[in-house]
């Protein structure tokens, strides 16, 4: 068992414990796939037997729950959860694929899981949080006996090449990009353009995933990590959003509270195919969850990580949101290339497993776009699954939210059978003619604001002055989305650091 004041994890489903005299409320949970059992208890001198039964309320149906960012006191040296205790918490939160992410060391939880008798509840994965001067990176799976990658490098391209060269490694994830560690913040606006996704300091963003939900290090503005991810997708990076817990503790930060559901064909928790898990991460067939599970399909055929082709003049996007009855959702939003294009408010306090199952009917875009559906609802503050306050707050107020989002669904709007990013379109437009303001803005009219942002970024890189009177006059007459993209880019542009290189 793992026991802390007010909380007890058991790997067997049974526990015998004593309490001081008094009235109590006892809650039983097993993560966001299961319901909640509640009993009142009056503790006295006589033993009492209580049965609390849990029902599985959410079946992921072809997905398994993965927490790619798990720590222990035993290996990381901080927090309070020993390796032995961690085994009970992993089983207790219903995680099928926990990834050991100890700092700069490979850890294998399999022997401890077998010793604790809980190996049948999950498939542990050897990983490493490569903790460096230029960011923290989860790498997995690691082949037993593999050397530890060099973690003191400051050149992120060389660093990532070394991480990927570690025997067995197939997935690399950038952790908590907005957090400050050792004086470095990967997504600092002086290093990273938050609208275009440019690398302003020349550092590489060649990763397979980026944490957008880290329940152990939540952001005051919970949408900011999503906006960073959206900007990187528009920059042409094929990376998936990641949910993780970064838990070092038994209860202060709940393991698996933030998690990623990855597509698999065999979802028995004790025999998950780790290669297939890696394939799904790299393909974007992964869903971010903080209490909610959100899925989407284009025309009923294409899901997260897939390219929707052969489309008609209208496109139907079905979004389904599920979660246990003790979690509620109050809105669903659909983003295309980072811009919200549709949304729906949900009835307040919906206490059912399926929070929403709705369809958005949209005109087929004239060019390729990516879609992400995101559902959210009031944060849980009750003692059985409370959300942590932000780790490095940027303001005093905070709105806790439960979240669930899809991986990118790519839409072949131009019908050429492949996906083109906003950056690719912008390059094509700039290369198609002279960079005079009137001609350029006219060529951009058939594209959205995301392409205009990338065009503005490329103009700056090519030495074009966007502040001239000619550019201002051309933008006044340009299509609204073109004007919006250029103006937004100019209003958020940050001067690069000394020594910055090209993206």
What kind and span of H or E run contains 3? strand 2-4
List, for residues 367-404, the tens digit of each pLDDT value.
999 999 999 999 999 999 999 999 999 999 999 999 99
Q: How far out from the chain centre does Cα 374 lie?
A: 11
Identify which has the larger pLDDT, 23 or 492: 23
- The confidence score (pLDDT) of residue 495 equals 56
The HSE-up count of residue 383 (CA atoms within 13 Å, CB side) is 11
Q: Is the pLDDT of residue 350 over 80?
A: no
Q: What is the mean pLDDT of residues 213-234?
A: 97
- The confidence score (pLDDT) of residue 491 equals 92
Confidence category of residue 501, pLDDT binned at 50, 70, 90: very low
Tell me the average pLDDT of the chain.
95
Confidence category of residue 349, pLDDT binned at 50, 70, 90: low
Q: Give the least confident one: 92-96, 143-147, 395-399.
A: 395-399
List, for residues 440-459, the tens digit of each pLDDT value.
999 999 999 999 999 999 99
Q: What is the mean pLDDT of residues 237-242?
A: 97
- The confidence score (pLDDT) of residue 348 equals 72
- Residue whose token pair is 């803005």: 441
Confidence category of residue 498, pLDDT binned at 50, 70, 90: very low
Residue 358, classed as helix, strand or coil, is strand
Q: What is the mean pLDDT of residues 108-130?
A: 98
- The confidence score (pLDDT) of residue 41 equals 92
- Write out the DSSP string of 133-187: TTEEEEEE---TTPPPPP-----HHHHHHHHHTSTT--EEEE--TTS-BTTB-TT
- The confidence score (pLDDT) of residue 493 equals 61
- The confidence score (pLDDT) of residue 503 equals 42
* DSSP bridge pairs for 308: 411
- The confidence score (pLDDT) of residue 388 equals 93
What kind and span of H or E run contains 76? helix 73-76
Q: Which of 264, 251, 236, 286 is nearest to 68 (CA)?
A: 286
List, for residues 47-64, the tens digit of each pLDDT value.
999 999 999 999 999 999
Superfamily of domain 63-411: Metal-dependent hydrolases (3.20.20.140)
Q: Where are the domains of the chain?
A: 2-43, 63-411, 422-492
- The confidence score (pLDDT) of residue 376 equals 97
Confidence category of residue 499, pLDDT binned at 50, 70, 90: very low
Q: What is the pTM of this model?
A: 0.96
Residues 123, 111: Cα–Cα separation, whole Å = 11
- The confidence score (pLDDT) of residue 496 equals 52
- The confidence score (pLDDT) of residue 280 equals 98
Q: Is the pLDDT of residue 342 over 50?
A: yes
Confidence category of residue 266, pLDDT binned at 50, 70, 90: confident
Q: What is the mean pLDDT of residues 14-34?
A: 95
- Residue whose token pair is 């990580």: 305
Confidence category of residue 305, pLDDT binned at 50, 70, 90: very high
Confidence category of residue 328, pLDDT binned at 50, 70, 90: very high
pLDDT above 70: percentage of residues in the chain: 97
């Amino acid at each position: 068992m793992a026991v802390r004041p007010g909380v007890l994890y058991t790997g067997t489903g049974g526990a015998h414990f004593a309490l001081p005299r008094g009235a109590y409320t006892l809650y039983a949970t097993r993560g966001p796939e299961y319901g909640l059992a509640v009993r009142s208890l009056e503790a006295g001198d006589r033993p009492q037997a209580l049965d609390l039964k849990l029902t599985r309320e959410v079946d992921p149906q072809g997905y398994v729950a993965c927490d790619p960012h798990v720590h222990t006191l035993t290996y990381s040296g901080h927090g309070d959860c020993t390796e032995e205790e961690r085994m009970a918490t992993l089983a207790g939160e219903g995680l099928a694929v926990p990834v050991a992410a100890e700092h700069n060391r490979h850890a294998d939880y399999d022997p401890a899981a077998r010793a604790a008798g809980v190996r049948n509840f999950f498939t542990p994965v050897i990983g490493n949080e490569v903790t460096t001067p230029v960011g923290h990176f989860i790498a997995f799976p690691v082949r037993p006996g593999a050397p530890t990658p060099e973690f003191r490098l400051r050149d992120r391209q060389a660093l990532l090449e070394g991480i990927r060269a570690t025997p067995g490694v197939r997935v690399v994830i950038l952790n908590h990009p907005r957090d400050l560690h050792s004086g470095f913040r990967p997504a600092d606006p002086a290093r990273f353009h938050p609208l275009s996704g440019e690398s302003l300091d020349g550092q590489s963003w060649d990763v397979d995933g980026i944490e957008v939900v880290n329940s152990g290090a939540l952001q005051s503005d919970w949408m900011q990590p999503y906006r960073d991810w959206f900007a990187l997708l528009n920059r042409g990076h094929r990376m998936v959003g990641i949910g993780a817990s970064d838990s070092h503790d038994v209860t202060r930060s709940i393991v698996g509270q933030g998690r990623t559901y990855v597509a698999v064909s065999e979802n028995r928790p004790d025999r998950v195919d780790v290669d297939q898990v890696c394939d799904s991460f790299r393909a974007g067939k992964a869903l971010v969850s903080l209490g909610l599970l959100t899925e989407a399909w284009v025309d009923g055929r294409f899901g997260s990580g897939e390219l929707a082709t052969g489309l008609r003049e209208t496109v139907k996007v079905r979004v389904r949101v599920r979660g246990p009855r003790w979690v509620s959702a109050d809105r669903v939003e659909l983003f295309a290339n980072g811009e919200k294009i549709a949304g729906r408010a949900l009835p307040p306090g919906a206490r059912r497993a399926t929070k929403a199952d709705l369809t958005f009917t949209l005109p087929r875009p004239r060019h390729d776009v990516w879609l992400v559906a995101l559902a959210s609802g009031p944060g849980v503050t009750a003692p059985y699954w409370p959300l942590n306050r932000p780790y490095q707050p940027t303001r005093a107020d905070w709105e806790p939210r439960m979240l669930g989002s899809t991986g990118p669904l790519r839409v072949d709007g131009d019908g050429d059978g492949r996906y083109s990013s906003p950056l690719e379109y912008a390059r094509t437009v700039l290369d198609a003619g002279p960079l005079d303001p009137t001609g350029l803005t006219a060529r951009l009219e058939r594209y959205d604001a995301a392409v205009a942002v990338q065009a503005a970024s490329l103009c700056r890189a090519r030495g074009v002055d966007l502040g001239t009177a000619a550019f201002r006059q051309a933008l006044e007459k340009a299509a609204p989305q073109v004007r919006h993209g250029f103006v937004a880019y100019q209003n958020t542009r940050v001067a690069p650091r000394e020594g910055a290189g090209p993206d």
